[in-house]
Amino acid sequence: MPRKPTRSAKGGAAPHLGESLPIERKLELYYWMRLTRTLEERLVALYRQTKVVGGLFRSLGQEADAVGSCYALEQRDVMSPLIRNLGAMLVKGATPVEVLKQYMAKGDSPTRGRELNIHFGDIGEAGKTRGFLGQISPLGDMVPVMTGVTMTFKMRGEDRVGLVYVGDGATSTGAFHEGINFAAVQKLPLVVVIENNGYAYSTPTSKQTAAKQFVDKAIGYGISGEQCDGNDVLAVYDCTKRAVDRARAGEGVQLLEFMTYRRKGHAEHDNQSYVPEGEIEQWAAENDPLDRYVRVLLDREKVSQTTIDEIDRRIAEEVDAATDVAEASGFPEPLDAMIGVYADPPVEKPLWFREGADTSSLGKERAEGWGTWDAAKGGNS
Amino acid sequence: MAEITYLEAIREALDEEMARDQNVFLMGEDIGAFGGAFKVTDGLMKKYGEARVIDSPISEIALVGAAAGAGHMGMRPVVEMQFIDFIANAYDMLTNYVATARYRAFLPTPMVVRGPSGGYVRGGPFHSQNPEAGFIHTPGLKVVYPSTAEDAKGLMKAAIRDDDCVLFFEHKYLYRRIKGVMPAGDHVVPIGKARVAREGKDVSIITYAATVHKSLEAAAKLEEQYGISVEVIDLRSLAPLDDEAVFNTVRKTNRVLIVHEDTRTGGIAGELTARINESCFAYLDAPVLRVTAHDIPLPYAPQLEDFVLPQVDDIVTAVRRLMAW
């Protein structure tokens, strides 16, 4: 049974949505969504040139839910993304150069070539870090970790909120259940976003849960839940803003379900043979989050096509420039692999059959210039 | 100074570290109001309050994950596994998330996961395990397993102050059987350093935790009955292993027995044997031997448990076999 688009683009957004946002901020939402898509399209090109050395994960069709939700956070808040939350990471301050270097396994990428794709982060003190946490592949694990992050906010009396994204698949894990339950019991300022995009790899939601909708799980945990149209960026923003405000006010864990659709496969290699015929095409034609938002901007907000074209042009330039920077970067020195498993010792000794290796980087855990963000400079180091 | 038990030594370390550093806090099942299944944390909630001694749901994954998240933000959480057997529930969180955090994301994850471990207590298959070998195989984790009250305290303080995750195995058989007088002042035992538990010249026993005491008993018997001088090395830390201490004793006695309570296949004895083989082959006068538990889930009945676990007489037999070479 093909999954039907939840809402037609023809109706646009309801008039009350996003009313708290001035037009400049509404255009920012468009910027982040378009940047996400353009950057991913660039990554596809680089993947085909074999410059992306690992898998490539798209968020095509999900840009609104990632961008709209993260946009409801403050700079000091901490967000834990998933593989389809490139948009959320960009909103939180990750840069196209960082993302490109990560995918291309460059030596000065945020993880120094240790991790893939958008698995990188920058968390810590408010104001000194951008506030997004590096994810790992086992799904659901980030929920308990964010339970701990927000537990720290509560213990220290910091006015900060955490937001963690999970997919429909991750809701089936023990980590999701334990993390959300513990956070609920502790009444922590945590927003848990379930992005229901229809598929976990090839598994449809009908095989993931017997629940009618994921938001119903909130009842069992004794927390508030809300569901919204994940392809309407203003609806996502409003819904998340309400949840973030409640969490900030001390009302405890908030569960959100965004209804969206994954138009690409799990990763670029996936031919989506499991998807019913016509389903992807129907979503692309009737419920593309960018198309929908452009209509809202043009028709309701009376933004000119020229303004939108200008943003698109700016993004194209930015992505071109970032690609040049990333491509010019070198690859890691092999011996860098030995650094920083532990704080103490700071470096592991190469095995005897590698003893001829140059040991010039020994003794340093994390060389100067390995930082991904320098608040003082206001940019990447 | 009065003698205190191994268990009290752990509590004293937790208490001192909580007093010293506001970032130290405890989480676990039944640890607060009840004081823990073995009463290790008894009285600490009363002293430090519910915000720093947190009674949790039965959720080992969430405990370890939350500790990691809090650790990233500068806290120093200490998580109790009610029995260390239940750490298996958090295996993914420890090995995939915690162990890799510093390496893949430069995230400090100072945290301690501690819990009552080991057998000889008629605890049956789920209250007697020694799962340490599964974790020393994972780069990024540190593992300690003290055998004395002094080390229990000093290693706990070191574990809490360490900037990475330390798994702290406590032997429940030793909890109230072993006592010690704590050294004065801020007693910290460095992680990664073994200890000579008994000096000797004919043969070395390398061991840790409860079998340190079995080995010392065997060593006394061997000296008395057969005139064999046995050196006993207490590893204390299992990750990192103190290669230098191991190699030193091998070079000294040229005969090595490794004793552990953990099951045989894939146990730490295999790793130690390989390291000795690679680095000290020329010093050996006999093959390295092992006395370990059988590869059997630990049974409940005393007749069965005693048969499966290493006993003093097994160690005596093995040392005599080594000396016959």
pLDDT more than 70, % of chain A: 90
Say yes or no to pLDDT of A362 above 80.
Answer: no
Place of tokens 């864990």: A253
Model confidence at A368: pLDDT above 70:
no
Instruction: Supply the pLDDT for residue A352.
Output: 83
Cβ-based contacts of B78 with chain A (< 8 Å): none
Mutate which: A80, A151, A177, A368, vs B, most B CBs within 10 A: A151
Residue A366 pLDDT greater than 90, yes or no: no
Q: What is the pLDDT of residue A225?
A: 98
Contact at 8 Å (CB) between B96 and A141? yes
In the numeric block, which tokens belong to residue B7? 């268990």
The string of pLDDT tens digits covering residues A76-92 is 999 999 999 999 999 99
What pLDDT sits at residue A3?
74
Contact A191, A257 (CB under 8 A): no
Percent of chain B with pLDDT over 90: 100
- What share of residues in chain B are helix, strand, coil (percent, to 5)? 40, 20, 40
Give the confidence band of B173 by pLDDT, cuts at 50, 70, 90: very high
Percent helix, strand, coil in chain A, to 5, is 40, 10, 45
Query: What's the pTM?
Result: 0.94
Q: In degrees rounded to 5, what are phi and psi of residue B238?
A: -105, -25
**pLDDT value for A10:** 43
- Report the pLDDT averaged over residues B296-312: 98
Query: Quick one: pLDDT at residue A363?
Result: 47
Tell me the C-alpha distance between A241 and B53, whole Å: 33
Residue A8 pLDDT level (bands cut at 50, 70, 90): very low
3-state class (DSSP) for residue B153? helix
pLDDT at B148 over 70: yes
What is the 8-class DSSP label of residue A125? S
Q: What confidence score (pLDDT) does residue B106 get?
A: 94
pLDDT at A6: 58
Find the mean pLDDT for residues A295-311.
97
- B63: its two tokens: 């405990």
- Rounded Cα–Cα distance for residues B248 and B250 (Å): 5
Asked if residue A260 lies in contact with residue A61, where contact means CB atoms within 8 angstroms, the answer is yes
Give tens-digit pLDDT for A195-233.
999 999 999 999 999 999 999 999 999 999 999 999 999
Instruction: Please tell me which residue of chain B has the smallest CA distance to A124.
Output: B73
Residues of A in contact with B108 (CB under 8 A): 343
Hey, are the CB atoms on B73 and A370 less than 8 Å from each other?
Answer: no
pLDDT at residue A9 in the model? 42
Predicted pLDDT at A356: 61
Query: What pLDDT does residue B50 have?
Result: 97
pLDDT at A158 over 80: yes
CB A290 within 8 A of CB A65: no
Q: CA of A254: how far to CAs of A166, A247, A249, A343, B59, in Å? A: 13, 7, 12, 36, 20
Mean pLDDT over A294-303 rounds to: 97
For residue range A38-71, list pLDDT tens digits in order.
999 999 999 999 999 999 999 999 999 999 999 9
Banded model confidence at residue B252, pLDDT cuts 50, 70, 90: very high
Is the predicted pLDDT of residue A332 greater than 70, yes or no? yes
Q: Count Cβ atoms within 10 A of the Cβ of residue B204 and give its class: 0-12 exposed, 13-18 middle, 19 or more buried.
A: buried
Statement: residue B276 has pLDDT above 90: yes
> Facing residues of B170 across strands?
B116
pLDDT at position A380, please?
Answer: 45
Residue A178 clears pLDDT 60, i.e. is over it: yes
Instruction: Please determine, for residue A161, whether its predicted confidence score (pLDDT) is greater than 90.
Output: yes
Helix ranges, chain B (H): 6-20, 44-48, 60-72, 91-92, 99-105, 132-136, 149-161, 210-226, 243-253, 268-280, 302-308, 312-323
How does the average pLDDT of chain A come out, rounded?
A: 92
A344–B162 C-beta distance less than 8 A? yes
Please tell me the predicted confidence (pLDDT) of residue A376: 53
Residues of B labelled catalytic? 127
- B102·A141 Cβ contact <8 A: no
Contacts of B104 in chain A (CB under 8 A): 111, 114-115, 119, 134, 136
Return d(Cα B282, Cα B8) in angstroms, integer: 44
Contact B103 A340 (CB under 8 A): yes
The C-alpha atoms of residue A91 and residue A82 are separated, in whole angstroms, by 14
Contact B257, B312 (CB under 8 A): no
Touching check for A367 and chain B: CB below 8 Å?
no
- For A321, residues 6+ apart whose C-beta sits below 8 A from its C-beta are none
Taking an 8 Å cut-off on Cβ atoms, the answer to whether A145 and B140 are in contact is no
A371 pLDDT band (50/70/90 cuts)? low
Beta bridge partners of A193: A165, A256
Residue pLDDT, tens place only, B22-81: 999 999 999 999 999 999 999 999 999 999 999 999 999 999 999 999 999 999 999 999
User: Are B285 and B316 in contact, with CB atoms under 8 Å apart?
Assistant: no
Question: What is the enclosing helix (H) or strand (E) of A200?
Answer: strand A199-200
User: Across all residues in chain B, what is the average pLDDT?
Assistant: 97
Contact criterion met (CB below 8 Å) for B229 and B223: yes
Q: What are phi and psi of B212, to 5 degrees?
A: -60, -45
Contacts of A343 in chain B (CB under 8 A): 102, 108, 162-164
SS3 A341: coil
Residue A140 sits at the vertex; the CA angle it makes with A137 and A141, to the nearest 5 degrees, is 70
- Give the C-alpha separation, B203 to B253, whole Å: 5
Please give the pLDDT value at position A5. Answer: 67
Q: B50-67 as b/e, with b when 16 or more CB fall inside 10 Å? A: eebbbbbeebbbbbbbbb
Query: In this predicted model, what pLDDT tens digit does every residue of A17-38 receive, in sequence order?
Result: 888 899 999 999 999 999 999 9
Contact (CB<8Å) B62/A145: no
Would the pLDDT of A378 be above 80? no
**Which residues fall within 8 angstroms of residue B238, CB to CB, at 6 or more apart?**
B132, B136, B143, B144, B145, B208, B268
